[in-house]
A = this chain, B = another copy of it.
Amino acid sequence: ALYRGLDSWDEVVGRIRGLHTDTLRKLTSKCEDRFMAGQKDHLRFETESWSDFRLTTGKPCCEAGDAVYYTASYAKDPLVNYAIKICRSKVKETQQQFFHSLAVRQSLAVHFNIQQDCGHFLADVPGSMLPWEEEADEEEEEEEQEEGDKKDGGDGLKESQAKSEAKSTESKRPNGESGEASAGADASAAAAGRLRSRVVVITREVPFQTVADFVRQGVSRHVQNPELYERQVCLLLLQLCSGLEHMKPYHVTHCDLRLENLLLVHCRPSNARTADPVEPNNNSAGKLAAAANSTCPARLIISNFSQAKQKSALMTSDPGALRDHSRLAPEIITATQFRKCDEFQTGILIYEMLHRPNPFEETPELKEQEYTWADLPPLPVRSLYSQGLQQLARLLLTVNPSERIRMSEARACLQCLLWGPREDLFQALGCGSASGSMSSATSGQRQATLQNWLDLKRTLMMIKFAERSMDSACGVSLEDWLCCQYLAFATTESLSRVVHILRQP
């Protein structure tokens, strides 16, 4: 059977093509296993585990929109770092909302770009770990703390539990040095009096900054090395779109996509062979620089689902609700309304990540009118990627939601911008881009060229993996994985569709 068809070149080519495709798919899934090794373990920490966590530094590792993150280690598994996420919200109602958002998020299957918690609970946190509250009214806090101590039993956590947590949290202060970080002097006694009840989430992924920080720090890099910076932006946007695309079958819409809700995590595949599984977040300066300079800056994680909407399965199964909705214009029904909301917000993020203001913040009246692409501010052309990103932003900000590009298409556009085929391939072949003059090359020729391009790219990808097997680090990078994913599932049809989308006038 192995030798059948060996006399036919066409058959051999078909088999080699099939082998390459199958292998790249297998490699993609192996990469996923490796990059998500920890995440798929389904750890669950309960309130009892709170006392087993120790901060590794007193300073937050990341300050996000909805929470502050601290690096911590878990006594029973000291080599792995965790992040302790302390939610900013103090008010009861916001906490309720938080638990709702957690429920929404937990309905999603695990995804590389969506924050996953390994347990969340209400815990008493020393004031020194809540530095942003220092400016707030001290009295109000004391009052709130008292309230927490006395009437906090309603959130599903027993008060005695919360109390015991207070003690154990206290005991970890010497290790974590958070006492030193606290602003008020004589830490142990004073801070103990200021324990505050907060929602705490344990996550495996330790963020080192938000995309907001990345963009802020990238201003000068964007000027000095626009090619690198805009490629990094594409890689981050690709991860964002992948995460959001993953939410679609669950009918979940994030609805609050902002730079400060997107976290960056240093990414190294879990590698059985590397001796040091500790991710030392301490020397974060060096890491930050490394992340800024590598092509793929980091793993992006979508966080803060407090505004997320989910079209409940009930809606269709409940005949009453179905009857009510059946007479409403589609744009009135919440689920329909929000269907393309994340796409729109992603379009805004493109502007912001390229250091341009949100067009609708700059010109609020835009939204009042049926604006066209021409009304959207142009993005300056600074790199190979600028024009493609401009086009993508327009497609995502299209006023009519049914004409607006879908998340899966946006993801495909970013893959095409990152790894090709590029415009110049088509120009080189005489099927130029200008005003859709497709006459010079037949569709069949185009398909053949795309297939050739794909065959060559897949060969190169295979070679990359083969050579990685001989690296002493045996390291497959995040970008390798993302690219492998693309090439494993691309077809000449999907490629020509994307090229067509990106070329729309």
Contacts and interface: CB of A to CB of B under 8 A. Distances in A.
B470 A12 contact: no
Given A273-B472, A456-B15, A459-B20, A6 B425 contact: yes
A367 to B, nearest CB: 42
A351 interface: no
A421 to B, nearest CB: 8
B7 A445 contact: yes
A467 interface: yes
Interface in A434-486: 445, 448-449, 452-453, 455-456, 459-460, 462-463, 465-474, 476
A30 interface: yes
Given A3-B428, A459-B20, A469 B468 contact: yes
B273 A452 contact: no
Interface residues of A, number: 49
A34 interface: yes
B20 A467 contact: no
Nearest to A480: B469
Given A30-B470, A469-B468, A456 B425 contact: no
A416 B12 CA distance: 21
Contacts of A424: 3
Give the number of times this chain occurs in the complex, counting copies: 2
A475 to B, nearest CB: 9
B6 A470 contact: no
Which of A16, A424, A425, A466 counts the most chain B CB atoms within 10 A? Answer: A466
Given A445-B7, A448-B7, A466 B455 contact: no
A272 interface: yes
A157 interface: no
A315 interface: no
A306 to B, nearest CB: 38
A345 to B, nearest CB: 35
Contact of A6 (B8, B23, B273, B449): B449
Contacts of A448: 7, 9
Interface in A62-119: none
A470 B28 CA distance: 10
Nearest to A452: B12
Contacts of A26: 467
A322 interface: no
A19 interface: yes
A4 interface: yes
A119 B452 CA distance: 56
B476 A470 contact: yes
A275 interface: yes
Interface in A1-51: 3-4, 6-9, 12-13, 15-16, 19-20, 23, 26-27, 30-31, 34
Contacts of A9: 448, 452
A19 B459 contact: yes
A321 interface: no
B429 A6 contact: yes
Contacts of A13: 13
Contacts of A27: 466-467, 470
A425 B455 contact: no
A349 to B, nearest CB: 31
Q: Which A-B residue pairs are the 6 nearest by beta carbons?
A: A273-B273, A465-B466, A469-B469, A272-B472, A30-B470, A468-B469
